[in-house]
Every structure is written in structure tokens, then in C-alpha cells.
Structure 1
Amino acid sequence: MSITIETINTTEAFKNLRKEWNRLLEQSPVQSIFLTWEWLYTWWDHFGADKTLHILLARDSSEIVGIAPLMITTAKRLGFRFRMLRNLGMPDVDVAGLIVKDGDQEVVNHFCQEIQNASRQWDILELGEFPNAVLDPQTIVRQFHEANYLSRLMPKLHTFIPTTGNWEDYYKTLAKHHRRSMRRKERLLAEEHKSVEYQRFNEGKVRPEHYNIIFNINAKARFPELYATESLRNFHLALAKPDVLQHAVDISFFLVNNVPIAFDYGFLYNQVYEAWRGAYTPRCSEYSPGSLIFLKLLNHNFTSGYLGVDLLRGEHDYKKRWRGYDRPFTLLWVVPRRKVLACAAYIWLPDLKKRVVSLLKRRNADSRDAEGED
């Protein structure tokens, strides 16, 4: 294998990669909607104005055998500005990293070397979140020589729920108190004579009006900023265009008395539902609509023959209730040692904070033990 690296830094060149990009993704062990050309190009088209493309292509002869979807952007920390080389689409992508044919480590090594060759263009490298089963974080770190670079790894977990078995068997694995709680909410709705309906739109059935419902619900929910600007809303509407990802966008609603009060929004990719976002109307929280809509979605996944539900990033307690299993991912930072301010902001101070928090936890635990002995 004779590998050469090419850098793509124009939108036009990025635009022309669609077929080769997705052909390579089909041969990559990392499979996610967030690594498709359609998702990343649409994101770049809407949010790339103040950033610089830095996509690396690895070629073996004329064949593309690897893509490092990167960009250079400005990051602010401790009152300083830093040039950050990071995955394209961050912080909005839930799965990132490198796209490599058959996970070939030689290609990964070439990418790491090329990134080092361009180190005068960046202050911090940020990769992730990427799956450890495909890209070994320690192997990547070893490519950046310890004498010249510092690194920091942040372990992450993504919960996956297989939906290929029997629904009733799966339902019985849920904790009894969790099942009782959801049954109580369903009884409450019935006792109040409220009609309940679950709707799911996917496989090309999503329309702009479905997004308008999402925008309206989310405006009153916990994170109203997610769709607060016209540019954000236009990005999501663009994803669902027929020539983009309309076939993959997957939106569910939970309706009470014919009014949508909750949504789940994600993508159906390779028969796996990637659960990206969800919200509900706060005034209806007594019904636990977030739990009820997800229960309906899981049931629909089982009965439709889909392979599973990927709960993506974010280690929240509610995910544990659904009895999936955790897959290890990593968020990685690499900083050249000569860039002292960047080392302080992204390596030394976060590490010091981690040590202090750990020390305080140990002291608190020791204090509680001592009080118990008294």
C-alpha cells in the first residue's frame, strides 16, 4: 500500500466528494449518520462561514481509503483565543473521528503524521467522540511523540439498545418500578379521559410541518436555544430535503387530545435509530411524556424489525432505565508542548481540576465514615 495524503480546503472540492465519501463510509467500521457526506456538508453549508476546511484524504493510488473530516476554528478559553483543529460538525455531531476503509491502522498513522506536519496551523487538536472499538485512543496518542506533544483523554459511554428480539421479553427486563411508573401515567391519562396517540414519520415521510411542531414544543422546553435562530432552523429543514437526508430523518410525536406534547428526533441509518434529540411541553410533565414516547418508539422499533436504538452521547441516568449496554467512546485533545497557553488551558488545568475534585470526594467520604464510627 502506497498512501498519499491530500488536503481539501475549499467548499467546492468538498461538494464534489459525495459519491466517494459515502462509498468509503460503507466500508468503514464506524457507521453513523453524523459521518455521512450529506450531514456534514449540510452542516458546513450553514455554519462554516467563519471556519476553515481541513479535510484530509488518504489515497492508495487513485482510491480514497481514508477521510479525516476536520476543520480549523477559533476556540476561546481563559480569555485567550486558540486555533482548534477539530472534527467537522462539532459540537453538534454525536459521533466523530476518522473514516477508514476496514479500520486500517496504517491509514490512521498517516493521518496523525500529516496532522503533525501541519501543526503550525493549529494550537489544539480535538477528535471525538469516536468509538474505541474502531479507533484505539492509546494508539492514536502514541503517534504524537511524547517529547513534542501532550494529550488528554476523556472516556465517554454511548448506550445501545438492541431491538431484534421479542418486545415482551425486552419489556420484562425493565425495572418493576419503572414499568409501574409508566403504567400509572397511562392510567392518569385514561382517568382524565384524554385521548393518546403515537405518531412516527420516517423512511421519507418527514415534512417541514413536522419540524415546525418540534420548534414549537422545544421553544417552551429545557433547551429553547437549540432551534432559536433562523439559521439553526434552516439547517434542520435542509437535512430533510429529498436530495439530502429525507430518507433517514426520523421524527416521533406523542399526542394528548390531538395536540403534540413531546417529540423524539433522530435518524434511521442502517436500520438503527440514532436518537439525537427530544423534548416535551413542561406543563404536561405530570404525565412523563418523555418516558411514554420513548416506550412507544422502542415498541415500534421491535415490531418494525429495526436493529436497535443508539442513545448517542451524554451519560444521563435516564438512559440506564432502558436496559441497553454501554459502548466506550473517547474525546481526545492533543497540544504541542511549545504552545504553553494551550497546554495550560486544555491539558494542565483540566487535569488539576480533575485531581482536586477527586481529592475532595475522597475527603468527604472519609468524613462520613468518621461520623459513622462516632
Structure 2
Amino acid sequence: MPTISAAPAPTKPKSGPVSVRLIDSWEKANETLRPHWDALVMSSSYPNFFQTWDYLDTWIKHSGGEFTPHILVAEQADQVVALAPMAVGPVGSGGKKWMRQLTFLGCGGAGLSEYLDFLIPAGQEAEILPLLLQELKQTAKGSWDVMRLPMMHDQSASLKILDDHTPQSFTAKLEKTEENASPFVSIPSSWDDYMAGRSAQFRRSVRRKWNKLHKNHGVKLIEAGKDMPVAEAIEEIIRLHEARWGDDSQAFSDDRFAEIHRDLAPRLAKSDRLSMLLLEVDGEIVAGRYDFVFNGILWNYQGGWLPEHRNLSLGVIMLAYSLQWAIDRGLKEYDYLAGEHDYKSSWADDERILTSYEMINPSSVRGTVFNRVRGIKRRLVPAS
């Protein structure tokens, strides 16, 4: 059964000055930071799965060498106290990657990551983040053209500090580029309690679809790692996802993305951070869900089902099974993550806003040229 981590208690500040150094190789990060990494995630104001060591270690191994770690390490009294978990890699438009971006580890390439942030103990952001920004400035010249900070929790304690201190460090200001809603539901103690909190229309719809499937067909739920080897189950997830989404998918249609998760899923199973469920109907596997477990939260990630069985409402059925799975394990929340799908808001009872930011490096000629050309285009093409 997955371990549910309590919310981190505020970390008592250590004494002495804080120094910052750069680590620009993953081998060095593995040697010096791995023992501290997940503890820093848990000490931050909103611990999230997408910044855990296993996830980032797998991502960078399959990034095709495009991304180089650019990790700023804050140390105090010879101990690692905070990280700017970043990387430098290519970015561009029109199919041409002619600039270098500084972004969070796990972004770019074949990464789909959310709730990203600096790994600073809750309550110490105002002290440590300006030091990290100043060091970013010192390492900026010639190394990157644009800084992109995607999918940050809009309640992040870092954002106000970034707004205040980025212009001081860079003579440039971060600009908000995008907002995405991330619906979630606080998980009650039972399925009946959850259903009691939904609308009458929702209850009727789900029960009708559930009863129709289970009355007219032989149904079996398969749990990866328990009823089927994880390596086999992830292949089923890939098959079902491609069948459902085809070329519209931004996930498993990318070979590197698929390799990341072929590698990641068994690692997560060993640490009880995996939820992978498959649905067998009349002897055929027709639907599946691939989700993550971390900090008492079930993170809704990818799924799929066979379109020829769309009359069975398999998407709804799998969400019901996943929520029941989370209830049985005492998880506290199901986060449906960002994405404009009606089903997410219908199952959720609240949402967070994830915001993305961008800043051109003032010392970069390419970044400055790009910014000027973009400004001209914006003035010539009226906003719709």
C-alpha cells in the first residue's frame, strides 16, 4: 500500500551564510544530490510528483542529450538546503530550434510535467530565491537565450519573489505567457460519500453506465504489478492510448516519451508510486489508466481505450475505477492535471491555476533579436 506523506513541517533555518554553486552534469548530480533530492521536494510548499528524483532521472536519460543540467545548489553549513532544478536545451518555432532555453528539469523534449518550481523549504523562499536568481545571472552569458518557467502553481511562494527580484538581477521582467486550470477532487472516505456529493444528473449517468457494462459483459480489473507484470501493462497502455488518440496525442506517439515511461513505470512500482489499471471486457483488454501516486495524491496522467467500444463509456468507467482505487488506499486527493477536457471538471470539485512565464536573457543577442522581431509581429497583427 502506498505510503501517504504528511504535509511537510516548516524547516528550521540553518545558521551561517548561504553559498550557491552550479552543477552542469547529471553524473555529478547523481553523486552529490540524489540523497537529498526527494527530501527537498517534500520540504517545499507544494511537493509534486514531477520533480521527484525517479521521474527526472528517467526523463534526462531519455532526453536524447538535448538538455544539459543547469542545477543551482544552495548550501548552508555544508548542507544542501535548496535547488534550482533547471536544464538548458533547444527551443524554437517553425520547426527550427535556433535558441537555447533555460527551463525546469522535466520540460521540453519528451516531457509533460506540471506544478514545477524551485525546490526551497517552505518559508525560506524570500531568503534563498534571490540568491539563486543572482547566480543565474552570473551563469547566463552565452549559455541560454530565453528562460521559460512553465506550469507553476499560481499560489507558489516563488512567484511574488520572482516578480520583485528578476528585474533586479537581469534588468528584464518575467512575462506571463499562459494559464491552465488543473481540476482536482478531495477524496472522501468512501465511494458512496463521493457520489453523495455529486449532482443527481452525474450520479444517474455514472450508475447507468456502470450497471450497463457490468450487467451485460464479463468484466475484470487488472492491476499492474499484481495481476500482470508492469512491463507488459505499460505496453497495453501505449497501445490503448494510441488507439484512442492517434496522431492527436502529444504523449506516446513520441518514441522518446514511450521509452521514458517504459523505464519509469517499473521504478515507480518498486516505490509504490504507480497506479496502472487495465480493464478486460469479455476476455479482451479494452481500456487502461496510467497514473502516479505521491504525497497522498493520485496524479491523473494518461489513459486510453479502444474506439470500437465507445458505446461502453470506457473513459467514465476507468475514472470510476481509479477513484475507487484511490479511496481504498486512503489517498487524500485526485489531481486531474491541466488540460481542457469536460470530464475533468465534472469529476472534480475545485481547481488550481498553473501559470507559465518567459523572460528573454538581456545578455543574449539571439534572444534580443527574437524579442524585437516578435514585438514587431505583435504590433502588425492585431490580437484576435
TM range (shorter): 0.7 to 0.9
Report the more deviating stretch, 67-76 or 14-23.
14-23
The one-letter amino acid paired with 1:125 is M
2:126 is the counterpart of 1:102? no
Q: 2:54, 2:267 within 8 Å by CA — same for their partners in 1?
A: no
Aligned to 2:219: 196
2:182 is the counterpart of 1:158? yes
Identity %: 21
Residue 344 of structure 1: how far off its partner (Å): 4.6
Name the CA distance, whole Å, in 2 between partners of 1:204 and 1:37: 27
Gaps of 5+ in 2: 1-15
Report the more deviating stretch, 37-46 or 224-233.
224-233
Aligned to 1:273: 298
SS in 1 for 2:157: coil
Q: CA RMSD in A?
A: 2.8
Aligned to 1:2: 17
Report the more deviating stretch, 314-323 or 61-70.
314-323
The within-5 A match list for 1:309-320 is 309-320=334-345
Aligned CA distance change for structure 1 residues 347 and 71 (closer, same or farther; 3 Å): farther
2:102 is the counterpart of 1:85? yes
Aligned to 1:133: 155
2:21 is the counterpart of 1:13? no
SS in 2 for 1:98: coil
Report the more deviating stretch, 140-149 or 87-96.
140-149
SS in 2 for 1:180: helix
Aligned CA distance change for structure 1 residues 277 and 133 (closer, same or farther; 3 Å): same
Aligned CA distance change for structure 1 residues 82 and 4 (closer, same or farther; 3 Å): same
Structure 1 counterpart of 2:138, from 117, 133, 149: 117
Residue 278 of structure 1: how far off its partner (Å): 1.3
Aligned to 2:192: 168
Gaps of 5+ in 1: 358-374
Task: Tell me which stretches of 4 or more aligned residues in structure 1 moved more than 6 Å.
Answer: 202-205, 345-348, 350-353
Name the CA distance, whole Å, in 2 between partners of 1:356 and 1:189: 48
Deviations, residues 70-100 of structure 1 (Å, cap 9, x unaligned): 1111111256721100111114212312111
Aligned CA distance change for structure 1 residues 322 and 344 (closer, same or farther; 3 Å): farther
Aligned CA distance change for structure 1 residues 89 and 244 (closer, same or farther; 3 Å): farther
Q: 2:36, 2:80 within 8 Å by CA — same for their partners in 1?
A: yes
Q: 2:246, 2:253 within 8 Å by CA — same for their partners in 1?
A: no
Aligned CA distance change for structure 1 residues 195 and 329 (closer, same or farther; 3 Å): same
Name the CA distance, whole Å, in 2 between partners of 1:252 and 1:318: 19
Aligned to 1:181: 205
SS in 1 for 2:115: coil
Q: 1:18, 1:38 within 8 Å by CA — same for their partners in 2?
A: no
Name the CA distance, whole Å, in 1 between partners of 2:227 and 2:271: 5
Name the CA distance, whole Å, in 1 between partners of 2:379 and 2:56: 32
Name the CA distance, whole Å, in 2 between partners of 1:207 and 1:329: 31
Name the CA distance, whole Å, in 2 between partners of 1:31 and 1:57: 18
The one-letter amino acid paired with 1:133 is Q
The one-letter amino acid paired with 2:135 is E
Deviations, residues 174-195 of structure 1 (Å, cap 9, x unaligned): 233333333333344356x311
Aligned CA distance change for structure 1 residues 236 and 58 (closer, same or farther; 3 Å): same
2:368 is the counterpart of 1:340? yes
TM-score (norm 1): 0.85
Deviations, residues 181-233 of structure 1 (Å, cap 9, x unaligned): 33333344356x31123333479986211112112212312146533465433
Name the CA distance, whole Å, in 2 between partners of 1:174 and 1:288: 19
The one-letter amino acid paired with 1:137 is L
The one-letter amino acid paired with 1:49 is G
Aligned CA distance change for structure 1 residues 230 and 54 (closer, same or farther; 3 Å): same
Aligned CA distance change for structure 1 residues 348 and 325 (closer, same or farther; 3 Å): farther
Aligned to 2:236: 213
SS in 1 for 2:83: strand
Residue 38 of structure 1: how far off its partner (Å): 1.3
The one-letter amino acid paired with 2:78 is S
TM-score (norm 2): 0.83
Deviations, residues 295-344 of structure 1 (Å, cap 9, x unaligned): 12212322331111111222432211013211232211111356433325
